[in-house]
Amino acid sequence: MSAAAELARRHRWRWWEALPWLAALGYFFAFPNYLAFGTQVLVTILFALSLDLVLGYAGIVTLGHAAFFGAGAYTVGMMALHLGWNEPLSGLAAAALVAGATGLASGLVLLRTQGLALLMLTLCTMALLEQAANMGAAWTGGFDGMPGLSFGRILGLFGFDVLYYRSQYLYALALLFACFLIVRTLVYSSFGQSLTGIRENLLRMHAVGAPVRTRQVIAYTVSAALAGVAGALFAQANGYVNLAVLGLDRSAGVMIVLILGGYGRLYGAFVGAIAYMALEHVLATAYPTAWQLGVGLTLVAVALFARNGLIGIVDALRRLAGRAAGSPR
Amino acid sequence: MDLSSLISILLGGMAAGMVLFIVSVGLSVTMGLMGFVNLAHGAFAMLGGYAVVFAMNHWGLPFPAALALGFVAVAAVSLVLERLLYAPLYRATELDQVLLTIGLTFAITAAVTLGVGPETQTVVLPEWLSGQTDLGFLQYRTYSLVVIVAGCALMLALWLGFERTRIGARIRAAVDNRRMAQSMGVDVARLFSLTFALGSGLAAVGGGLGAEILGLDPQYPLRYLAYFLIVVAVGGLGRISGVFFAAILIGILDFVLKINFPKGGTLFIYALALVLLLARPQGLFGRRSA
Amino acid sequence: MNAALLETRGLCRSFGALEVAREVNFRLERGARHALIGPNGAGKTTFVNLLTGVLAPSRGNVLLEGEDVTALAQAKRVKRGIARTFQINQLFRGLTVLENVCIAVAERLGVGGAMLRAAGSRADVLDEAARLIDMLKLSGDAGRRIVELPYGRQRLVEIAIALGLAPRVLLLDEPAAGIPSAESHILLDAIATLPKDIAVLIIEHDMDLVFRFAERITVLVSGAILAEGAPAEIAANREVRAVYLGNAV
């Protein structure tokens, strides 16, 4: 197949792209007692997907992405607690708006810098939000957060089930699918291609006349909105919000998940989240410190040998086997 | 507020700032020198602290000797890690460097927790360092005063070393323009190993000296990472005087805020860092890269 | 029309005490086939950086068709029609040749920021990119990633990108460097197909290429113009020969 033809067909859906979704549906029927865990995985995938857009594709290294996750979560929580507004879908929309606006504002300002200064600024922005949430206890519940949130029925039909998470799981899955469609469209568009260009060679993108900063800010804003949706989903599905939705732990955690799976590869978020959280579920509860040691050593190994994560390893194997890499790029 | 209270607060902040300086100065030079984002620097400080505690409690070494031991031990360990783990990633992306050093931090934190335990370590100060000193108008903690003096002495020593020695000149040249320095025959790789070891050793001393002030437990690196990075970023990469003043500024600010706003004090530090970095991304004393 | 296509007036740039551009008054006419030569360190690449906006001058102006563009950023100047290649390839190394050229063409066609349609479905972009790749004899490598190509081929991709921007002014910084001499005609052939009113400025050390291509030569030494004129004049100029050409020509 000629290069042009291959490029022209790259955005078409492959048959195996249906697999993750079928598997997710299958999980619903196969593991009815583990849907709470499944929901957390779905939320994490969405969060990691949002990070992929900004880190994997646009190449913006940020340690503060939890700021937008938290913005979304707290928006939904505060609306429910203080405004008595607990309609889930509109809450979600509000969360996306607030998180997106936060992303736009901070992106416009922060993306003037690069390198260490940018990294530090993303960290500071998130830490600021974290401190604000801690201090504004009257609004945010401070350190303890807002436990015991309850939400209305989705579309007036499906209630949130605190025990078995049945509606939550399908709700999260539907949302993930919708957001995935958005990200997939963006990634395959000319805009997405230009993001990859920005990541690969910033100077060159300037030299082809691309409005680099504008593209970066747009990517950052969309990514922030998506992270906000993930945060709102977290708050709605679990029925609580606390400071843990912000902070370096959550930012580093989602970055680890994405890197392990493979950044800049659309499905890296899926692979990374499932692998990481499954392992964590099994190992971390039993041996938390050993788990941390393992994660640390794995990161070191990944940084040295497997920068493209699990998908990268699969790619390398396939290339060794002589076939061209076929995963979406 | 009367004068002695004011001075008391200033001294307390300066002591904390000195610890920040001693730990962060190595980070500033290595980041300025190699452009390598080393988020594991705090872990080296922590290891130094643990080495000092261990040497004092198990081997009965006096405090200064324990500090020296901590310096040497951590410098040696960091040299090994630099050759094995850091060197392969000098040309890698920022993301890879962040990954490596965060992973290293996690691993070291976990290893210390497993090996020693999660409790806070206490440094038992020797007789001549505890208690108070009479400054005339004020009685102040001897130890804090010693830390302040030590920090100033280090600053002077480093300044002399950088400004007056040939190696110092080479380091400054390489920080300013690595390729130019290389083409003038400076062995940049060896220079970096040397400064990395030196910087990590200093961090170890900072960890040991500061254990009494900042505390010492396995969460130390992650808890203080932001502070070290802010001090370095605000001070300007590779600028020793910049780090010095930034550390004192942040130390005093943090101290004052912790007293008056125990719940939200850190917010102002982050806000200040944000404003400063936006106004001058190269740091207060940094120079825009050529 | 008196206004040159690209012009500098009193262009100066210094780094501290080092002056890399000294009162450079330079004109690039419409349809020019102009070469810029000079010893290493003369400031040729710096000059191109000043022309394209990568570097800001300490003093002086850059004018594009009479309009002062000195304050314009690099990307904006590209949109106005100035394209350049870099002395050291600046390509998207992880992407394929086709993708590299498509990005440039998409930006030129104004669809670089389009978010809905898949990039691969834009036939106009793909066709134009394919045409350029073909012109530079890279069709066989279109689907290969840049990192997999030999340096000389990468150089040709660099040129394809510049051509893909359909510029009015094309600045080529040592385009033949790294291209095996057997293939350097590909470069000249590609330039020959360009519309006649495009101005082309080449920085080169390969004197063979320079004298085959140039209708006008400027000699830059230590940031200042030493001599300027038709190739024959420059070849005969004693000062130039002493400073740069030696007695080989």
- pLDDT per residue as tens digits for the range C108-167: 999 999 999 999 899 999 999 999 999 898 999 999 999 999 988 899 999 999 999 999
User: Which chain A residues are Cβ-neighbours of B91 within 8 angstroms?
Assistant: none
Distance from CA of B129 to the nearest CA of A (A): 36
User: What integer pLDDT is reported at residue A224 of this predicted model?
Assistant: 98
- Kindly determine whether residue C106 and residue A193, on different chains, have CB atoms separated by under 8 Å: yes
- pLDDT per residue as tens digits for the range C79-118: 999 999 999 999 999 999 999 999 999 999 999 999 999 9
User: What integer pLDDT is reported at residue A209 of this predicted model?
Assistant: 94
Quick one: closest CA in A to B104, which residue?
A296
- Kindly determine whether residue C115 and residue A4, on different chains, have CB atoms separated by under 8 Å: no
C20 three-state secondary structure? strand
User: Which chain B residues are Cβ-neighbours of A132 within 8 angstroms?
Assistant: 267
**Chain A interface residues (partner B, CB cutoff 8 A):** 55, 61, 63, 109-110, 112-113, 115-117, 119-121, 123-125, 127-128, 131-132, 134-135, 248, 252, 259, 263, 289-290, 292-293, 295-304, 307
pLDDT class of C238 with cuts at 50, 70, 90? confident
Higher per-residue confidence, C144 vs C239: C144
By mean pLDDT, which of B39-48, C107-116, C170-179 is the weakest? C170-179
pLDDT class of B45 with cuts at 50, 70, 90? very high
User: What integer pLDDT is reported at residue A201 of this predicted model?
Assistant: 94
Best mutation target among A249, A304, A305 (most B Cβ atoms within 10 Å) is A304
CB-hemisphere CA count at 13 Å for A228? 26
- The answer to whether residue B241 scores a pLDDT higher than 80 is yes
Q: Is A134 in contact with A142 (CB distance < 8 Å)?
A: yes
For chain A, which residues score pLDDT lower than 70? 1, 323-329
Contact partners for chain A, using 3 or more CB pairs closer than 8 A, are: B, C
Q: Three-state SS string across C74-142, please?
A: HHHHHHHCEEEECCCCCCCCCCEHHHHHHHHHHHHCCCCCCCCCEHHHCHHHHHHHHHHHHHCCCHHHC
User: What integer pLDDT is reported at residue C4 of this predicted model?
Assistant: 83
User: What integer pLDDT is reported at residue B264 of this predicted model?
Assistant: 67
Quick one: closest CA in C to A204, which residue?
C90
Count the neighbouring beta carbons within 10 Å of the beta carbon of residue A98.
Answer: 23
* DSSP state letters, C151-213: HHHHHHHHHHHHHHT--SEEEEESTTTTS-GGGHHHHHHHHHTS-TT-EEEEE-S-HHHHHHH
pTM recorded for the entire structure: 0.90
B266 in contact with chain A, both atoms CB, cutoff 8 A: yes
B85 in contact with chain A, both atoms CB, cutoff 8 A: yes
User: What integer pLDDT is reported at residue C19 of this predicted model?
Assistant: 87
Specify the CATH architecture of the domain B3-279. Answer: Orthogonal Bundle (1.10)
Quick one: closest CA in A to B263, which residue?
A135
List the domain boundaries for chain B: 3-279
By mean pLDDT, which of B151-155, C167-171, C192-196 is the weakest? C192-196
The percentage of chain C sitting over the pLDDT mark of 90, rounded to a whole number, equals 59
- Kindly determine whether residue A214 and residue C113, on different chains, have CB atoms separated by under 8 Å: yes
- Kindly determine whether residue A135 and residue B267, on different chains, have CB atoms separated by under 8 Å: yes
What rounded mean pLDDT belongs to chain B? 86
- The answer to whether residue B263 scores a pLDDT higher than 80 is no
Question: In this complex, which of C75, C92, C115 lies closest to A197 when CB atoms are compared?
Answer: C92
User: Which chain C residues are Cβ-neighbours of A184 within 8 angstroms?
Assistant: none
List the domain boundaries for chain C: 1-81+167-249, 88-160
Minimal CA–CA distance to C6: which of C38, C42, C31, C36?
A: C31
**Chain A interface residues (partner C, CB cutoff 8 A):** 2-4, 6-11, 185-186, 188-194, 196-197, 200-201, 203-212, 214-215, 218
- Kindly determine whether residue A299 and residue B100, on different chains, have CB atoms separated by under 8 Å: yes
C103: amino acid identity, one letter? I
Quick one: closest CA in C to A211, which residue?
C75
Distance from CA of C200 to the nearest CA of A (A): 17
Quick one: closest CA in A to C88, which residue?
A204
Distance from CA of C106 to the nearest CA of A (A): 7
By mean pLDDT, which of B170-179, C149-158, C186-195 is the weakest? B170-179
User: What integer pLDDT is reported at residue C246 of this predicted model?
Assistant: 55
Structure tokens at C249: 């020509």
By mean pLDDT, which of A123-127, A145-149, B132-136, C211-215 is the weakest? B132-136
Structure tokens at A261: 């799976």
User: Which chain A residues are Cβ-neighbours of C52 within 8 angstroms?
Assistant: 207
Cα distances from C93 to residues A262, A311, B145, in angstroms, run 18, 19, 55
Fold exhibited by the domain C1-81+167-249:
Rossmann fold (3.40.50)
What's the mean pLDDT in B261-282?
81
Count the neighbouring beta carbons within 10 Å of the beta carbon of residue B13.
Answer: 23
- pLDDT per residue as tens digits for the range B74-95: 999 999 999 999 999 988 888 8
Higher per-residue confidence, B31 vs A273: A273
User: Which chain A residues are Cβ-neighbours of B263 within 8 angstroms?
Assistant: 134-135
What is the ipTM metric for this complex? 0.91
| Segment holding B141, helix H or strand E | strand B139-141
Distance from C-alpha of B196 to C-alpha of B205, rounded to nearest angstrom: 14
- Kindly determine whether residue C113 and residue A215, on different chains, have CB atoms separated by under 8 Å: yes
Higher per-residue confidence, C210 vs A328: C210
pLDDT class of B1 with cuts at 50, 70, 90? low
* DSSP state letters, B63-90: HHHHHHHHHHHHHHHHHHHIIIIIGGGT
Q: What angle do CA C224, C230, C232 make, to 5 degrees?
A: 110
User: What integer pLDDT is reported at residue C249 of this predicted model?
Assistant: 46
User: What integer pLDDT is reported at residue C2 of this predicted model?
Assistant: 61
User: What integer pLDDT is reported at residue B290 of this predicted model?
Assistant: 37
